[in-house]
Amino acid sequence: MISRESVIKDLHAIQSQSPLVHNITNYVVMNTTANALLAVGASPVMAHAVNEVEDMVKIASSLVINTGTLSKSWIDAMIKAGKTARERDIPMVFDPVGAGATSYRTKTALQIIKECRPRVIRGNASEIMALVNEKGNTKGVDSIATSESALHAARLLTKDTGAVIVISGPVDYIIDNQSAIEVRNGSPMMGKVTGMGCSATALVGAFIAVNRNFLLASAHAMTVMGIAGELAAKKSDGPGTMQMHFLDELYTLSDKEIADLFDVK
Amino acid sequence: MISRESVIKDLHAIQSQSPLVHNITNYVVMNTTANALLAVGASPVMAHAVNEVEDMVKIASSLVINTGTLSKSWIDAMIKAGKTARERDIPMVFDPVGAGATSYRTKTALQIIKECRPRVIRGNASEIMALVNEKGNTKGVDSIATSESALHAARLLTKDTGAVIVISGPVDYIIDNQSAIEVRNGSPMMGKVTGMGCSATALVGAFIAVNRNFLLASAHAMTVMGIAGELAAKKSDGPGTMQMHFLDELYTLSDKEIADLFDVK
Amino acid sequence: MISRESVIKDLHAIQSQSPLVHNITNYVVMNTTANALLAVGASPVMAHAVNEVEDMVKIASSLVINTGTLSKSWIDAMIKAGKTARERDIPMVFDPVGAGATSYRTKTALQIIKECRPRVIRGNASEIMALVNEKGNTKGVDSIATSESALHAARLLTKDTGAVIVISGPVDYIIDNQSAIEVRNGSPMMGKVTGMGCSATALVGAFIAVNRNFLLASAHAMTVMGIAGELAAKKSDGPGTMQMHFLDELYTLSDKEIADLFDVK
């Protein structure tokens, strides 16, 4: 069961273990997600060369794959890293950025899921719907659909893949075959900063590195993300200050803040 | 005719329509320009794979091509996207970053202009001069020449290509075969933050997505850029705070601020 | 001899000459290091295409090579640029990010050192140790070893390569065959922001562009880095504000601040 205490426990575990999180992600957010991982206490590394991803993932505690900016050689590296991670039982989270926007993205996402079998898939409503061939009305990389509308798709997807599915939006849904958790933390300002979804995925990477209950770990990550976002939004005048305060809040997040703001069922 | 009202009208149009702006840009500024587009109300997407640029540009309202960091496969994708955009009459703005610094950049820029026929070309004085084989004294990606010195080159370039030419600098000149607009808004602090020129180009992308008068749309973009820059500079102690406040100001820019600060002829 | 005055003199030289610094660096930090170079008064350019790196480096005052995110075509460009720089006697600084983490990174770093003969090599303790085949306990791109533990490795490396070696950490060591300088400036908060090590390397690039005494120039860069970091940390609540204030402090750094905080022997 998720609780204030379970969130706090995992966050402390990340801070004390500083797990190495291997990221193969997109150009737009590399700096942002590396900083988010550092702020939460993890140790990020980015490596995408086909020649080194196997070696890198073998020393990592988790793997984050994100298809925000794709090309052939990157896809090859993602699949090689993802397969190695699965063989070695190193947990992987997958972010199918822009699935549904082009058939190339949708196909690539499905191929990665099939070949790498990620433990967690996190996307917005449109992306999750695109993965099960439902119309999600993607607008580039942004979703027009609501999280609620993607719940059916998520249930199909978790059944088909065995992965925990995270749909992020005003309410985040984290589901597997048995359970569903709703994280109500967060702020609309988070949607005004590029890469917030990608940062959420990276944080899931940090939490699954320290907790093998992937449903709970994912929900913990989304809770921490949402609470830091709420706290940052209160201090922010726009997306510039939001981006900055978000990192500060992630870094200084206290047990009391988590306990006070926890809004999950 | 450009006026306070015409600037405000276009900005509102971006905020209400949230046009999808497809960017193929450089690694240095991807995050910066995505955030600037989000802040102004547009919906940015980055995609550079030859396999998907056609599909992506077809669903976009405008295309932004920027040659800040080049390589073979990226150039192929830029040209494919640009040609598709032209065929479909999706407006494209082109930023020839560093033209004049190396012959590779100059040649690539000329090739893109020839094959894709952009609606708008935005550069600093040196870059615009390099495109018509005038010596612009480029220093890497920065210009030593003044905007005024590039006016002759810009007139040749607009005549030759039919594109609106934007020369940015302390005064921005926006010209086509008939007209010239001077935007005097802006702040010297903008030159201390990397990617401000690229953000200007991205904003032009947002404005040409909602206004087919490309001369006016470009001037509107440069005005909004300059006013947000002025407002941000007043609050800033250096380039770090400048970068942050600039996004906030873009996001919160009011009709009154535009009306009060508008300095265009 | 390093002194308050020698640091200030070089910083003024950068601000007045605005040297063009050519960077072939990693995706994560490109924006960060470009902004750091601009803030200190240099003129950064990023270019990585095999077709243009020779032309670009020929007009540059120094070259920065950083292996944070590698792939085949980038390595080819790095070596081509580095060889050209050496032939033309344009000083190069090399940052072997993640050496020791994978054999691909270690081998690539050694190849670059052998073929390009950089004037300065800057890394954390683990990276420097990996280059001479000592176990440095690298964790991805972060070091677990202390700077002191890498001194022996650095002495071997400077003897073998003729390069000045910079080991950064709580105390930075800058050594060549004759001398060793210890820079005690800095703040633990610098380790909480991604790309601070890469920014240090970029600043070394700016200083070796104006001072051919590479030992002193490197120590000056690390002193300016450390003092700006200290000043920024005092104003910061976490890594978000730290990143922002660091750029402001670099930009506004006064002779008096350098003189007051200088902590070097």
**Average pLDDT of the residues in A63-91:** 96
Neighbours of C25 (CB within 10 A): 30
Q: H-type helices in B42-71, by residue range?
A: 53-58
State the pLDDT confidence band at A137, using cuts at 50, 70 and 90: low
Q: Which residues of chain C have pLDDT under 50?
A: none
The region, left, alpha or beta by phi > 0 then psi within -120 to 50, assigned to residue A35 is: alpha
State the pLDDT confidence band at B137, using cuts at 50, 70 and 90: low
Contacts of B260 (CB under 8 A, 6+ apart): none
Whole-angstrom distance, CA of residue B16 vs CA of residue B249: 18
CB contact under 8 A, C251 and B238: yes
CB contact under 8 A, A48 and C26: no
pLDDT at res. B242 = 98
Q: Is the pLDDT of residue A115 over 90?
A: yes
pLDDT at res. A143 = 73
Residue from A32, A35, A66, A237 whose CB has the most chain C CBs within 10 Å, to mutate: A35
Whole-angstrom distance, CA of residue B232 vs CA of residue B244: 8
Interface of B with C (CB under 8 A): 26-29, 31-32, 68-72, 98, 101-105, 139-142, 192-195, 236-241, 243-244
Q: B touches which chains (3+ CB pairs under 8 A)? A: A, C
Q: Find the CB nearest C104 among A31, A45, A49.
A: A49
pLDDT at res. B145 = 80
**Dihedral sign computed on CA atoms, order A258, A259, A260, A265:** positive
Domains and CATH numbers, chain B: 4-261 (3.40.1190.20)
**H and E: helices and strands count for chain C:** 11, 10
pLDDT at res. C179 = 95
Q: Is the pLDDT of residue B215 over 80?
A: yes
Residue located via tokens 């989000």: B38
Q: What is the residue-averaged pLDDT of chain A?
A: 95
Strand, helix or coil for residue A124? strand
State the pLDDT confidence band at B136, using cuts at 50, 70 and 90: low
Angle in degrees, CA C95, C100, C104, rounded to 5: 85
pLDDT at res. A134 = 73
> Which of B145, B144, B207, B139 lies closest to B174, judged by CA?
B207
Tokens for A115, please give them: 């070949």
pLDDT at res. C148 = 83
pLDDT at res. C136 = 61
Burial class of residue C188 in the structure, from the number of CB atoms within 10 Å of its CB (0-12 exposed, 13-18 middle, 19+ buried)? exposed
How many Cα atoms are found within 13 Å in the side-chain-facing hemisphere of A38?
25
State the pLDDT confidence band at A149, using cuts at 50, 70 and 90: confident
CB contact under 8 A, B240 and C252: no
Q: Is the pLDDT of residue B59 over 80?
A: yes
Packing angle between helix A103-116 and helix A72-87, nearest 10 degrees?
Answer: 20
Q: Find the CB nearest C39 among B141, B239, B244.
A: B239
> Which of A4, A10, A8, A20 lies closest to A254, judged by CA?
A8
Whole-angstrom distance, CA of residue B195 vs CA of residue B106: 19
pLDDT at res. A133 = 83
pLDDT at res. C141 = 72
**Average pLDDT of the residues in B123-134:** 92
Are the C-beta atoms of B187 and B230 separated by less than 8 Å? yes
Whole-angstrom distance, CA of residue C206 vs CA of residue C40: 8
Quote the distance between the C-alpha of residue C210 and its chain's center: 15
CB contact under 8 A, A194 and B51: no
Burial class of residue B25 in the structure, from the number of CB atoms within 10 Å of its CB (0-12 exposed, 13-18 middle, 19+ buried)? buried
Q: Please tell me the pTM assigned to this model.
A: 0.96
How many Cα atoms are found within 13 Å in the side-chain-facing hemisphere of C175?
23
Q: Is the pLDDT of residue B133 over 90?
A: no
ipTM associated with this complex: 0.94
- Tell me the shortest Cα–Cα distance from C95 to chain B, in angstroms: 18
State the pLDDT confidence band at B138, using cuts at 50, 70 and 90: low
Instruction: Select the more confidently predicted residue: B144 or A186.
Output: A186
